[in-house]
Amino acid sequence: MTRPKILITRRWPEAVEARLAAAFDVTRNDADTPLGPDALRDALRTFDAILPTVTDRLGPEVFEGPDIRTRILANYGVGFSHIDISAAKARGIAVTNTPDVLSDCTADLALTLMLMVARRAGEGERELREGRWTGWRPTHLVGTKVSGATLGIIGFGRIGQAVAKRAHHGFGMRILVQNRSAVAPGVLAETGARQVDAIDDLLAISDCVSLHCPGGAANRHLIDAWRLGLMKPGAFLINTARGEVVDEAALADALVQGRIGGAGLDVFENEPRIPASLMAAPNLVMLPHLGSATRETREAMGFRVMDNLVDFFDGREPRDRVA
């Protein structure tokens, strides 16, 4: 039997590439640069499976036209707002993602950002490396204590819950949750969390707000100027979800005007482009989309994609099917 032809759109951890090559007829993108719409359109006509990442924008236009060969988009990552799911569905293409395996590391990074911004660690490191540190003094780079503070979590899926565990059991933080559906009482009880109905209620009483909802059109600019205005003065905003969830211009304004205490961002609306207004904003820590970037997690994500592919081509339902 001929092996399914698959395209890996970026370089993946070696161990995963090797295992994929043993099972499938693999084409790699050795240049490791994002594929544009034309390359993706061609790929849909050439491969049985495409293994995209967040850098591959599979909008409705790439699915247009005849002779589509691809039967599955096995996404490397949990978020899939870069894929037009209804266009994929309309062409009978299955879509899978990689949940669970990246929850711990993404939660760790949300906590990293929270601590960096609240304790002014980014500023401190820059000061030291630039030779501007003049020594210890009681008023130097005084930040905000996170232990015992209130953390508002928007989106209480696996990553939100992993953040809550770290914040509550590690830092004694009080946890507030806003989620589309009701969270099971047992899950809330694990971190003494309280669910509120409205995002606005959560924003008004949280010392730090961490975003863990999906991206995509439904949540575009969920945090806009008005909602930033509802946050407590001095509160922090952390985004490890998707860039489009936050109105970046409004956030830059809120930071410049000192309306909130600071922000930590791992994701951006037009990655890898960062607007000049954010570059210039004070009290902002920015990381280059590192949420899942550990060797262990990146390998686990790859093996999870492989499990989905093997199931699909063996005629079983892939466990992580989202469409």
Range list of β-strands (E), the chain: 5-8, 25-28, 49-51, 72-74, 94-96, 150-154, 174-178, 194-195, 208-211, 236-239, 262-265, 284-286
Cis peptide before 318 (omega within 30 of 0): no
Q: Is 76 exposed, middle or buried (0-12, 13-18, 19+ CB in 10 A)?
A: buried
CB of 291 to ligand DGY, least distance (A): 5
Q: Tell me whether strands 25-28 and 72-74 are parallel, antiparallel or unpaired.
A: unpaired
Complex with ligand DGY: residue 5 or 57, whichever CB lies closer: 57
CB of 216 to ligand DGY, least distance (A): 12
- Is position 130 annotated as part of the catalytic site? no
Complex with ligand DGY: residue 291 or 302, whichever CB lies closer: 291
From 17, 127, 190, 271, the catalytic residue: 271
**311 is written with which tokens?**
């199931």
Q: What is the dihedral of CA 321, 265, 188, 77, to 10 degrees?
A: 10
Complex with ligand DGY: residue 97 or 179, whichever CB lies closer: 97
CB of 281 to ligand DGY, least distance (A): 22
CB of 298 to ligand DGY, least distance (A): 10
From 242, 259, 298, 304, the catalytic residue: 242
Binding to ligand DGY by CB under 6 A, coded x per residue (else -) over 232-271, reads ----------------------------------------
Complex with ligand DGY: residue 120 or 289, whichever CB lies closer: 289
Q: Which of residues 26-85 bind ligand DGY (CB under 6 A)?
A: 53-54, 77-79
Q: Which residue is nearest to ligand DGY (CB)?
A: 77
Q: What is the C-alpha separation between 155 and 69, in angstroms, rounded?
A: 36
The reply to whether 291 sits near ligand DGY by the rule CB under 6 A is yes
Complex with ligand DGY: residue 126 or 180, whichever CB lies closer: 180
Instruction: Determine the angle formed by the axes of helices 14-23 and 295-313, rounding to 10 degrees.
Output: 10
The reply to whether 292 sits near ligand DGY by the rule CB under 6 A is yes
The reply to whether 102 sits near ligand DGY by the rule CB under 6 A is yes
SS3 content of the chain, % helix, strand, coil (to 5): 40, 15, 45
The reply to whether 211 sits near ligand DGY by the rule CB under 6 A is no
From 120, 289, 298, 304, the catalytic residue: 289
Q: What is the C-alpha separation between 305 and 8, in angstroms, rounded?
A: 11
- Is position 289 annotated as part of the catalytic site? yes
CB of 1 to ligand DGY, least distance (A): 32
CB of 320 to ligand DGY, least distance (A): 12
| Strand, helix or coil for residue 186 | helix
Is residue 55 within 8 A of residue 34, CB to CB? The reply is yes
Q: DSSP readout, 190-245?
A: TTT-EE-S-HHHHHHH-SEEEE-S--SGGGTTSB-HHHHHHSPTT-EEEE-S-GGG
The reply to whether 161 sits near ligand DGY by the rule CB under 6 A is no
- Is position 61 annotated as part of the catalytic site? no
**Which residues of the chain form contacts with ligand DGY (CB under 6 A)?**
53-54, 77-79, 102, 291-292
Query: Which of the residues are catalytic?
Result: 242, 271, 289
